[in-house]
Structure 1
Amino acid sequence: MISTEHTDRLAAITVFGEFTLADYKEFEELVNYKIQFNGALDLLFDLREMAGFTLDVAWEEIKFSRQHAHDFRRIAVLTEDQWLTWSAWVSQLFVDAEVRVFSDESEARSWLAAGEASEAVP
């Protein structure tokens, strides 16, 4: 199951339990909509409560990342799991976005907000 929140420039996704293909499709719909109407987007992935993911989610993530390689500015991943940290690093190979891993949500949100503020300065 996932929970989402979003603003014009940010999509925040929290995963609870197993991350399924249906959950990923919900995430894709939100992101595609935001990109279509607002342009490049920041992402916050909170994976601290994720119990695992299905193989089809991993495959879908690779396809989605390649399709949207230039559509993200910054991606913050919240996790304390070393495997997910490594996975976030590998994801950088598929997107132009700056990707960082955090264990503290306020630090992640501050980093994303700082990126948005620096874009606003002429």
Structure 2
Amino acid sequence: MSLELNEIAQGRYLEVHVSGKLDRETYQQLVPLAEEQINQYGKIRVLFAMHDFHGWDAGALWEDIKFDTKHFRDFERIAIVGERKWERGMAVFCKPFTTASVRYFDASELEQARKWPMEE
């Protein structure tokens, strides 16, 4: 599993790049940073980019469900960037778990995906 986190725009924007399969240990890195930003700035905006992504293991899926339930209203926009058809479906799948605007971008649209969460 590869994870890269970037905090941009005074902490209101979190850019997450993942590859491989998400596991519980990845969430132990990601969750504290996201919660720190939420506590400091209120609602945040996220770009979640997947490259050669293979989904979640059971532990990571459970951590994701707990996080989504706790932070249902804490995101304004979520840009999902992917390479595969099933990743496009993630944008539809995650909408009931957040009040955020969620939009899918193909990997070739990464720069556009970076701009969208920051638009007012």
Normalised to the residue count of structure 2, the TM-score between the two structures is: 0.88
Aligned mates of 1:108, 1:87 — CA distance in 2? 15
Out of 94, 111, 116, the position equivalent to 1:106 is 111
In 1, are the aligned partners of 2:45 and 2:118 still within 8 Å (CA)?
no
| Residue 5 (structure 1) aligns with | 6
Cα drift, residue 11 of structure 1: 0.6
SS of the residue corresponding to residue 60 of structure 1 reads helix
For 2:28, the equivalent position in structure 1 comes to: 25
SS at match of 2:19: strand
Residues 13-44 of structure 1: CA distance to partner in whole angstroms, max 9, x if unpaired?
11122211111221111100101111110011
Q: Distance in 1 between matches of 2:102 and 2:63?
A: 19
Gaps of 5+ in 2: none
1:58 aligns with 2:61: yes
Unaligned runs of 5+ in 1: none
Give the distance between the partners of 2:104 and 2:28, measured in 1 at CA: 23
Secondary structure at the aligned position of 2:54 is classed as strand
Deviation at 1:113, TM superposition (A): 1.9
How much identity, in percent, do the aligned residues show? 28
Who is 1:34 aligned against? 37
1:5 counterpart SS class = strand
SS for the counterpart of 1:92 is: helix
One-letter amino acid matched to 1:5:
N
- Looking at structure 1, the residues matched to 110 and 27 of structure 2 have their Cα atoms a distance apart, in angstroms, of 21
- Match of 1:78, SS? strand
Q: Count the aligned residue pairs.
A: 115
The Cα RMSD (Å) is: 1.3
